[in-house]
Structure 1
Amino acid sequence: MQQGDTTTAEPSSKDGSSRTRSRKVMWGLAAIVVTAIIVAIGWRLTLYKTHIPPESVDLSLSVYPLTDKPSLAVLPFQNLTGDPQQEYFSDGIADQLITSLSQAPYLYVTARTSTFAFKANPMQVQEIAAKLGVQYLLEGSVQRDKDRVRIHVQLIDGRNGNHIWAETYDRNFSDLFAVQDEITMAVMAVLNVQITGYATGALKYSRPTRLNAYEHYLKGLYYHLGRRPEDVKRARQSFEEAVHIDPNFGRAYTWMANTYLDEIDLRLTTQREQVLEKAEQAVSRALAVDPDYPPYGTMSRISRLKKDMENAIVYGRKAVQQAPNDSGRHYMLCLALERGEQFEEAVESCETALRLAPFRPVNYVLELAWSLVGKTQYDTSIPLFKEVIDRSPQSFYAYLAYKGLTAAYELSDRHVDANLAAQNVMRMNPNFSLENESRLSPAKEGPFKQRMMNAYRDAGLK
């Protein structure tokens, strides 16, 4: 029928009722189709991100109790050089101060992972102190010109923003190490922190004899601490350059070893045994040139990857003893304890690491969740796995979190949720197989590993 006919013809009542019924049928069919499409889209989205049910809690608001020690955060130092390529140097100065101050057992020092979050997000000092849960902030700037370096530092009371102490060091570049030590000792003195003999010795741990070796070392740390897979080799190249310039630079050998271990942890290599051997060689060299300060943290990491959990735990505890305020060392101990199935202590170590790193690095949160699974506290672990996925949805950590969700749901009899989590495991790693998982799993052979493998299988993974 043409358009003119529809506007002029008067339909009969019979034709009208027939058309009304047709329209109802058509609208009904359309509603069914739309509903089906919405359901299909919803199901598809479920596969791409596990739904977070109402019982989840925002654990990012959790704050572990404040310590009774003086508490300090070292903020990123400003690069006043005018050259963005020198950013590694200003970052390195702040990072080395964190490392030095962390040696003192009577001072609480916030981890780099939390303080450096403010580098691109400046705030009022009182707000930063409140977010980090600390009493004091150390901030500064670095300016370098050929053979001179100018470092300005100031210690601030985070409760009211008042400046407690400030100093400017305008020195020859060759005096850099002395300046770092002076700043560390001055901060401890102002805060009335007891300085132990062990801490003062650790300040000079494994320093190179040539400053250009130290520059390459700082570049290596800059790349390594970025935690990007593409930077692993760049970090190693910088450490290799450092030891080429100074073959007795023990700390550079230690971090070189860690770049090899990163290849295994991030699954960037299929040559696991060969890479482990190179890491062990680098640690052996570090011990040979600097026997007074063994790299226990790295030694724990190597033992754990070799599934020698007894030594991994021993070295992990010694690493914490060396630097009790270093969140990374508590995290490494947590990893060793969890893999060694000492879950109660693993939870305590992870919680300490998170207390020292209030911005909750996702790998710390993930390891706490796995430790809780080991304690069969599945309902407590589930929100933590979801936090990892929500904060880092496309990362390797999210993949590990989906595996954790699969097990936690299955072992708490939430089989539908377990199956959805398992589908996300396959989405993120289409080559997943139980055979490969059993072979590559960092867990030692025993009841816990068997429980996980059975849970994966029951949730539908093959």
Structure 2
Amino acid sequence: METPSAGLSVTIHSNLAKSAARRAVNPRNFFTELKRRNVYKIAIGYGVVAWLLLQAASILFPTFEAPPWTMKVFVAVTALGFPIALIIAWAFELTPEGLKRTELTDELPKKSSRNRAWIYVVVIAGAISIGLFLLGRFTAAPKQSASADFPAKSIAVLPFENFSQDKAFAFFADGVQDEILTDLAKIADLKVISRTSVMQYKNASSRNLPEIAQALKVAHVLEGSVQRSANRVRVSAQLIDARNDTHVWADKYDRDLADVFAIQSEIAQKIADQLQAKISPRERSAIEKQPTKDLAAYDLYVRATDAIDAAPTTQNIKENFLEAITLLEQAIARDPAFFNAYCKLAQAHAQLYLFGEDHTRARLVSAEQAINAALRLQPDAGEAHWAQAGLLYSKLDYDGARAEIEIARRSLPNDARVFELSGYIDRRQGRWPESARNLERALEVDPNNVSILWQIALSYESLRDYAKDAAVLDRILALKPNDLDARLARGQLEVAWRADTRPLHEVIESSMQQDPASGKRLAPLRIFLASAERDAGAAERALADLGDDTYGPDAIQFSRAFGEGQLARWKGDAAAAHASFTTARVAQQRIVDAQPDYGPALCVLGLIDAGLGRQEDALREGRRAVELTPLSKDSINGPIIMGFFAVICAWVGEKDLAIEQLTRALQLPGRLNYGGLRLSPSWDPLRGDPRFEAIVASLAPKEVHD
């Protein structure tokens, strides 16, 4: 006897069999079946929701500074989910009883009203996605338009991260980055930001690449890492289009350490290819050339480069250059054919000579020997001709320097130093507008170069445009908020501009409290400050800390004995002043004998003789110093020497001549300023003279009325 349940089972199986036969998929009913199984609905719904999620991710991921690869993974997962969703839609259907296979739902009772919830979901999701799309478009538009004007073939090579276990290899990572940057900079079809502007991002805890690109005014950014261990090196690099924060290219190189220079050349050429830059055969040859085969020599070179780059913005220029010279000589001893090392060595020697730190024939010969060695190795290289231009500039041979710069420019199209040196030559010749234009052009490829900004600030100081000077110094402080030299310069500006010593006093005092050993480094400024504040005790301590070093503006350098004589003079101790000046004169006479035609040295001798009361000698030496430093040759030191000649005249009682020289000097851009004339003891012999007081009053800022 057949039970009811058994009959029901037979009926269901029979119906399923019929249903299966009825629903068999064939080309004629396939699309009808897709519709019946809600595959179309799911496809549309998934597409709308996926687009919604992608729009949201494109806005939120950059906001939270997610790594660029996360967006790629998100897109891949979203795309992979689409076929999976379609398969599930075909095989299953959502019912009030839960998720059922489609074949089973066919035989279940149908509800009279159809569920249209999916339509509302799609409509709402679509509305949200459109809203996010519009939001993304309007919020991203300013960012895109801000970078749209940057050349497509522009790039900044950021410092590479050091992943080596030995953190002492950090300089090696810097060297890898520097060589890639240098190779790219040789390509005229590219705009490449100079090394000094990208180095500030070296130790950044996190990098916002679009912001960095915006600051440096480039479309692309290259970043990477270096891992060095034993005789192996791994270099990773990735090229980012900062306009939309997308990866353009990435690669890893794991090779013998000896191949590191080949890796650098390969990366440079890959980047040039990605940016579709045209590379001439000469440029390609220069990129493929290895700097040296001795990695130890290269390490020494990288360290020397850091010391040279830091020198112009420190209070101890001489120490930096001497350190660099020692390192470069060691590098050359290891590899006598190290071309770049000779160029850097020539630069260090030439600048020691130029800045008056060692203005001797021996220093000049050392620079010439280094340049000659570089030219023998690579006579057509732009680096050698730039170094030659630097030496000629140091010798005040401006026409020769300009000719060498033009040669260097051909193979160094992205080198800010070419425009920088042109600007310095213009300024020395008193061509101030041309100087400003060249320095601004240098900033185009080196926008964060603090050294160039320092020089622009110096120009404004010489022009006595203190508001602009302050703005440039504030820009430096924005780049390097804790930089002591910038803070000191800002304090000095207040002395020159407003005769206000308090800011400088506070910076020096704070620095010495934090680091008592900084007293020697700050000795030159402490002497200047103590004189302005008439603090004899502070002056004595500063002179003691000075030791055998010198101090003074630019090429005018004073010894400790001279400072002690000047201190005794304004204290009214004639005997002590005479003794100190006598000591200073012996040493200064030796300097003059070694270089009798060097105006700054002769100027110092004239001041010493004025302090000793040797009127005729002092006036003769002062006049000769002015003659040896004509404004056409040196518009920096020329006015300084003219001002000191006015001091010589005042010290020997020639007040009329002193006023005449001072008036003449103030008609020129220079370092004479309101604060110096009002506060320095050097001008005491002229105080009370109505003519002098009128000059001082004419220089006072508008807000000073006393």
Query: TM over 0.5, yes or no?
Result: yes
Deviations 1:325-383 (A, max 9, x none): 1223321221122213333332221111112222241x312323455678x69477544
2:150·2:217 contact (CA, 8 Å) conserved in 1? Answer: no
Partner of 2:207 in structure 1? 123
1:308 aligns with 2:397: yes
Given the alignment, which residue of 66, 78, 83 partners 2:166?
83
Q: Secondary structure at the match of 1:140?
A: strand
User: Which residues of 2 match residues 203-214 of structure 1 at below 5 A?
Assistant: 203-204=287-288, 207-214=291-298
Larger Rg: 2
Confirm or deny that 1:328 pairs with 2:489.
no
Contact 2:152/2:275, CA 8 A, preserved across alignment: no
Aligned residues with identical type, % of pairs: 25
Give the drift of 1:247: 1.1
Does the CA contact (< 8 Å) of 1:366 and 1:397 recur in 2? no
Aligned-residue offset at 1:211: 3.8
Aligned partner (choices 137, 142, 145) of residue 221 of structure 2: 137
Task: Return closer, same or farther for 1:275/1:399 CA change in 2, 3 Å cut-off.
Answer: farther
Q: Give CA deviations for 1:191-214 in whole Å, capped at 9, x if unaligned.
A: 001112232232245732444433
Q: 2-side partners of 1:64 and 1:446: how far apart?
A: 44
Shift of 1:281: 1.1
| Residues 1:367 and 1:80: Cα distance change in structure 2 (over 3 Å) | same
Q: Superposition pairs for residues 30-179 of structure 1, below 5 Å?
A: 68=151, 70-121=153-204, 122-179=206-263
The residue number in structure 1 matching 2:280 is 196
| Counterpart for residue 427 of structure 1 | 528
**Does structure 2 conserve the Cα–Cα contact (< 8 Å) formed by 1:70 and 1:108?**
yes
Please give the per-residue CA displacement for 1:392-422, whole angstroms capped at 9, x wherever unaligned.
885399669958995xxxxxxxxxx47559x
Number of aligned positions between the proteins: 386
Could you tell me whether the CA contact under 8 Å between 1:388 and 1:401 is conserved in 2?
no
Distance 1:225 1:112, change over 3 A: same
* Counterparts in 2 of 1:318 and 1:337: CA distance versus 1, 3 Å: farther
Letter in 2 for 1:291: P
Q: What is the identity, as a one-letter code, of the residue corresponding to 1:118?
A: Y
Q: TM-score, normalised by structure 2?
A: 0.49
Q: Which moved more, 1:223-232 or 1:346-355?
A: 223-232
Structure 2: which 5+ runs fail to align? 1-145, 505-524, 532-550, 558-598, 604-625, 644-664, 683-706
Letter paired with 1:302: L
Task: Tell me how far apart the structure 1 counterparts of residues 493 and 401 of structure 2 sit (CA, whole Å).
Answer: 24
Task: Assess if the C-alpha contact under 8 Å between 1:317 and 1:333 holds in 2.
Answer: no
- Which letter maps to 2:260? L
Unaligned residue ranges in structure 1 (runs of 5+) = 1-62, 407-416
What amino acid is aligned across from residue 437 of structure 2 in structure 1? E
> Over aligned residues, Cα RMSD in angstroms?
3.8
Amino acid at match of 1:190: Q
CA deviation profile, 1:94-152 (whole Å, cap 9, x unmatched): 01111111111111111222211111223222222222221111011111222221111
Give 2:600's match in structure 1, choosing from 426, 434, 439.
439
Structure 2 residue matching 1:166: 3-state secondary structure = strand
Partners of 1:340 and 1:400 lie apart in 2 by 27
**Aligned: 1:289 with 2:289:** no
Alpha-carbon distance between aligned partners in 2 of 1:334 and 1:274, rounded to the nearest angstrom: 28
- Alignment deviations for residues 226-256 of structure 1 (CA, whole Å, 9 cap, x no partner): 4464443333233222211221222111112
Q: What SS does structure 1 have at the residue aligned with 2:264?
A: helix
* Matched-pair contact (CA < 8 Å) for 1:102–1:325: yes
2:442 counterpart SS class: helix
The one-letter code matched in structure 1 to 2:380 is: D
Query: Are residues 364 and 401 of structure 1, via their aligned partners in 2, closer, same or farther at CA, if it must alter by over 3 Å?
Result: farther
Secondary structure of the 1:436 match is coil
Kindly report which structure 2 residues correspond to 1:324-403, keeping only aligned pairs within 5 A, or say none.
Answer: 324-361=413-450, 363-371=451-459, 378=465, 381-384=468-471, 386-387=473-474, 395=485
Equivalent position of 1:6 in the other structure: none
The structure-2 alpha-carbon separation of the partners of 1:341 and 1:318, relative to structure 1 and needing over 3 Å to count, comes to: farther
Q: Residue 388 of structure 2 aligns to a residue in which SS?
A: helix
The amino acid that maps onto 1:315 is E
* Counterpart-to-counterpart distance in 1, 2:432 and 2:306: 33
Q: 1:233 to 1:335 in 2, by over 3 A?
A: same
**Counterpart Cα distance in 1 of 2:405 and 2:487:** 22
Q: 1:380 to 1:64 in 2, by over 3 A?
A: farther
CA separation of 1:359/1:66 partners in 2, compared to 1, >3 Å: closer, same or farther?
farther
2:253 and 2:263 in contact (8 A); partners too: yes
> Residue 214 of structure 1 aligns to which amino acid in structure 2?
Y
Cα distance in 2 for partners of 1:400, 1:321 equals 38
Q: How far apart, CA to CA, are the structure 2 residues paired with 1:290 and 1:386?
A: 39
Does the 8 Å contact 2:235/2:254 carry over to 1?
yes
The amino acid across from 1:98 in the alignment is L
Q: 1:394 to 1:106 in 2, by over 3 A?
A: same
Contact 2:430 2:631 in 1 (8 A): no
Question: Do 1:385 and 1:401's aligned partners in 2 also have CA atoms closer than 8 Å?
Answer: no
Q: Which amino acid aligns with 1:218?
A: V
2:266 to 182, 191, 194: 182
Counterparts of 2:324 and 2:310, CA distance in 1:
10
Matched residues in 1 for 2:282 and 2:415: separation? 15
Q: Is the 8 A contact 1:386 1:401 kept in 2?
A: no
Query: Which structure is higher in helix share?
Result: 2
Q: Which residue identity does 2:391 align to in structure 1?
A: I
Q: Which structure has more RCO (C-alpha within 8 Å, separation ≥ 6)?
A: 1
Are the aligned partners of 2:160 and 2:173 in contact in 1 as well (CA < 8 Å)?
Answer: yes
**CA distance in 2: counterparts of 1:247 and 1:103, whole angstroms:** 24
CA contact (8 A) 1:335 1:346 kept: yes
